[in-house]
Chains A and B, each alone.
Chain A
């Protein structure tokens, strides 16, 4: 960066922490996570195309302890980016910009993403898909 000596923005450290800051940065963070996580989708599809052996080892990895941790994290990242993304799409229409609405929908994105993650994994762990 050019050393102009001018003050830089934003000065995150001088702001009081607010939930909208968390959802904003988490939207980027989960976006990056999901971009990298797209490799998992590719892995599954390529394994399916390659044959039984490749698919079995994909399954074994996905079902391992590490695999499950990654998948649970991936599920939350997906649901957060989905919920908060819909929130952004709604805001793009020009609605929901009152401070109170902004705070409330931020919390809604966070809470809903956690609830949806729990629902999906409760369904999986109770053998709902069997």
Chain B
């Protein structure tokens, strides 16, 4: 018996009913894996800075490796958040225009958030 009921063209395109294949699924997993390491690093760094003064905190965040990892954290965090929120909205918001509006809104907010965070780290790292 034929196992796969899809027609050969659909299988070749590999895009499925969502029209974008497994890209969303994979990106969510990759960012999740990155965040496992980056968030634990972030937590340890913050715990080390709880009693630090302003100058020490600034010096720590401004170190090249910390700045790089923080920027990586910010980008993957907002990316992962937007992918997750997208699924929640698609699942629970059933009014089409509201769904579309929310989907666009979270993308705009996530990009703005990521840019603001990256700029803050760069300002500290480059000392302005």
Query: Mask for B34-68, Cβ within 8 A of A = 1, else 0?
Result: 01100110110001101100100110010000000
Query: Mask for B18-31, Cβ within 8 A of A = 1, else 0?
Result: 00000000000100
Chain A, interface SS category: helix
- For window 59-100 of B, CB contacts with A under 8 Å fall at 61, 70, 74, 77-78, 81, 84-85, 88, 94-95
Chain A, Cβ-Cβ closest to B125: A49
B116 A82 Cβ-Cβ under 8 A? no
Q: Which of A11-19, A39-47, A95-103, A105-113 contacts B (4 or more CB under 8 A)?
A: A39-47
Partner of B57, one of A48, A85, A89, A120: A48
The tally of CB-CB contacts under 8 A between chains A and B is 78
Number of interface residues of A (CB under 8 A): 29
Chain B, Cβ-Cβ closest to A120: B47
B124 A38 Cβ-Cβ under 8 A? no
Please give, as numbers and ranges, the residues of chain B lying within 8 Å of A82 by CB-CB distance.
Answer: 36, 39-40
Q: A34-B81, A78-B39 are in contact. Are A45 and B51 (CB under 8 A)?
A: no
Please give, as numbers and ranges, the residues of chain B lying within 8 Å of A78 by CB-CB distance.
Answer: 39, 43
A49 B50 Cβ-Cβ under 8 A? no
- For window 20-51 of A, CB contacts with B under 8 Å fall at 28, 31-32, 34-35, 38-39, 41-42, 45-46, 48-49
Other A-B contacts than A45-B70, A45-B74, A45-B124, 13 sampled, CB-CB below 8 A, are A31-B81, A34-B81, A38-B78, A38-B81, A45-B61, A45-B120, A48-B120, A82-B36, A85-B32, A85-B35, A89-B29, A120-B43, A130-B51
The contact sample of 14 A-B pairs, CB cut-off 8 A, is A31-B84, A31-B88, A39-B113, A42-B113, A45-B121, A46-B117, A48-B54, A48-B58, A78-B43, A88-B32, A89-B29, A89-B32, A124-B47, A124-B50
